[in-house]
Amino acid sequence: MELSATSEVRRPWWTLTLLVFLLIMSLMDRIILSLLVQPLRDTFQISDVQFGLLFGTSFAILYGLLGFPAARLADTKNRKRLVFCGAILWAGCTAASGFAQSYEQLLLLRAGLAIGEATIFPAAHSLVSDLFPRERRSLAASVVAAAPFLGTAVTYMGGGVLIQAIDSFVAGGGGHGLETWRITLIVVSLPTIVFGILFATTVVEPLRRREVAIIGGKPATADLKSMVPFILPLVIGAGAPMILAAGYAAWAPETLMTEYGLSLSSAGAWFGVVAAVGPVVGSILLPALVNRQRGRPFVEALLLVCTAAVVIGTAIFIASPLQSSAWILLSGYLVGSILLFGVYSTVIVSMQFIAPEGVRATLVACTTFIGSGLALSIGPPLVGFLKENVSGGYTNALVWTAILSGLISLAALAVARKTARSWQGPDGR
C-alpha cells in the first residue's frame, strides 16, 4: 500500500532507534549462550564441538539461507510487518529454549531463532535507504551496521550480572525449580516482545525512494548480474574476518575464565567493554575514512581502506593472544576489532551507494550470508575443534582462526581489486 509523502518522512530517527534496540536484542538472544557454556554442558553432557554447533551452525545455516528471501521481501513488501513478525518469532524461540528438555530440542529452537532474526538486518537497511536522503544515509546506515556489535557488548557487560542475579534468586528458593540458564533465556526474550510491539504500533512504512545508485558521480548499472564478479569477492573479503568474530563471541568469556582466571562477571564485563567500543567505533570510523577519499573513485577507496584494515587487524589478532596477560588479549581485541569488524560494516554501508535501487537489501543479505551465516557456522566449532585436536588451548585456537580468516579475506579482496580494474561498473572504470 502506497503512503503519502508526509508519511514517508515521519519520525525517521524514532524508527532508527527502535531498529537499533531490536538489533541489540537480536544479538543478546543469539549469543547469551556463550555465558552459559558450563550449565549447558552439565545439563546435556555436550562437548565443545557440540556447543559450537549449537551456538553457531544450528543458527547460522538457516540465518544465512533465509536472509535472501527475507531480503527480497524487504525490497518489495511491507517491512514493518516483516520486522514485527520476525521479532515475535525469535523472542518466542528464545523463551521456549528455556524449557528445552534435550540438546536436539535446543538445536531446533536455535533454528527457529535464526528464521526470525533473518528478517531484521536486511529490512533495517532497506528502511534506512527510504527514511534518509543520500547525504544523511551513510551515518544512519553506519548506526544500523554498528548495532549488532553493540548488542554483543550489552550481552557480555550485562549478561554476567544478570546471570549471577538469577543464580542468587534460584539459590534463595526462587524459580519454581527452573535452573538459572533456563530462567535467563526466558528473561532475555521479554524486551524483544516489548520493542516489537512498539515498532508495530508507532512506525509508519515509508515510501520507497526512486533513485539511481551513484559512485564517483556517475549512475550505477541496473544489471546486478554484471556486478557479481566484483560483489562476490568483496563480500567474502568483508565476511571472512567474522569467522574470527564468531569464534571470539562463543569462546572469549570461557577463555578469560579458564586460561586467565577471571570470574564470570569480570570476563563478561571486560569483554563486553572492548566488544562495545572496538566494533562500534570501527563501524563508524571506517565508512567515514572511505568517504574522505574524495580524490579516488569510491570503489578504489573502499578496497584500499578495507585491505589495509585487514592486514593490520589480522596481525594484531595473531599477536595479542600469544601474550600471557588477559589485558593484552583484551587490548588487542579492542584495536583489532576496530579494523577487522569495521571492514564488515563498511562493505554493508557501501551497499547504500553501490547497489541499484530495489536490490539493496538483497546485497546486504549477501554480505550477512557470508559474515553472519557462514562465518557463524564455521567460527565457533572451528575454535572448539582446534582447541580439542590441534592447539590444546583456546588462545592458540584463536590465533590459528585469525590466520585462516585473514588469509581468506586478503585473497578475496585482491580478487575484488583485480576485477574492479576491468569492471565497467558505477564509476565507469
Q: Given the C-alpha cell 537499533, which residue does it identify? A: 20
At residue 65, does pLDDT exceed 50? yes
| Cβ(412)–Cβ(240) below 8 Å | yes
Q: Which of 211-215, 297-301, 335-339, 386-390 has the lowest mean pLDDT?
A: 211-215
Cell output for 125: 537497511
Distance CA 366, CA 371 (A): 9
Q: Which residues contact 40 (CB under 8 A, 6 or more apart)?
A: 33, 46, 51, 54, 106, 181
Distance CA 74, CA 144 (A): 15
| Cβ(106)–Cβ(8) below 8 Å | no
| Cβ(250)–Cβ(36) below 8 Å | no
Question: How many other CB atoms are found less than 10 A from the CB of residue 230?
Answer: 22
The sign of the torsion formed by the CA atoms of 300, 302, 307, 312 equals positive
Which pLDDT does position 291 carry in this prediction? 82
Question: How many other CB atoms are found less than 10 A from the CB of residue 367?
Answer: 28
Q: Which of 78-87, 94-103, 117-126, 178-187 has the lowest mean pLDDT?
A: 117-126
Distance CA 350, CA 298 (A): 9
Instruction: Count Cβ neighbours within 10 Å for each residue of 62-83 and write b for 16 or more, e otherwise.
Output: bbbbbbbebbbbbbeeebbebb
What value, to the nearest 5°, has the Cα angle with vertex 269 and ends 280 and 271?
55
Which pLDDT does position 91 carry in this prediction? 97
Which residues share a beta bridge with 215?
218
Tell me the pLDDT band of 427, cut-offs 50, 70 and 90.
very low
Question: How many other CB atoms are found less than 10 A from the CB of residue 4?
Answer: 10
Closest alpha carbon to 132 in 16, 21, 20, 19: 16
Tell me the pLDDT band of 210, cut-offs 50, 70 and 90.
low
| Cβ(391)–Cβ(251) below 8 Å | no
Which residues share a beta bridge with 218?
215
Which pLDDT does position 10 carry in this prediction? 53
Distance CA 354, CA 230 (A): 11
| Cβ(341)–Cβ(241) below 8 Å | yes
Q: Which residues contact 339 (CB under 8 A, 6 or more apart)?
A: 282, 286, 309, 310, 312, 313, 316
At residue 203, does pLDDT exceed 90? yes
Question: How many other CB atoms are found less than 10 A from the CB of residue 99?
Answer: 12
Distance CA 267, CA 261 (A): 9
Which pLDDT does position 240 carry in this prediction? 93
At residue 422, does pLDDT exceed 80? no
Tell me the pLDDT band of 424, cut-offs 50, 70 and 90.
very low
Q: Which of 179-188, 220-229, 313-322 has the lowest mean pLDDT?
A: 220-229
pLDDT in tens, 90-147: 999 999 999 999 999 999 999 999 999 999 988 998 899 889 887 778 888 889 988 8
Mean pLDDT of 50-54: 86
| Global pTM exceeds 0.85 | no
pLDDT in tens, 246-280: 888 888 888 898 899 888 778 878 888 888 788 88
Tell me the pLDDT band of 411, cut-offs 50, 70 and 90.
very high
Cell output for 205: 512504512
The CA-based dihedral angle spanning residues 87, 67, 232, 292, taken in that order and rounded to the nearest 10 degrees: -20
At residue 337, does pLDDT exceed 80? yes
Which pLDDT does position 351 carry in this prediction? 84
Which pLDDT does position 212 carry in this prediction? 54
SS (H, E, C) 202-247: HCCCCCCCCCCCEECCEECCCCHHHHHHHHHHHHHHHHCHHHHHHH
Mean pLDDT of 156-182: 89
Report the chain's mean pLDDT, rounded to a whole number.
86
The sign of the torsion formed by the CA atoms of 90, 94, 99, 101 equals positive
Distance CA 279, CA 276 (A): 6
| Cβ(140)–Cβ(129) below 8 Å | no
Distance CA 261, CA 130 (A): 49
More confident residue, 333 or 136: 333
Distance CA 220, CA 355 (A): 8
Mean pLDDT of 71-78: 88
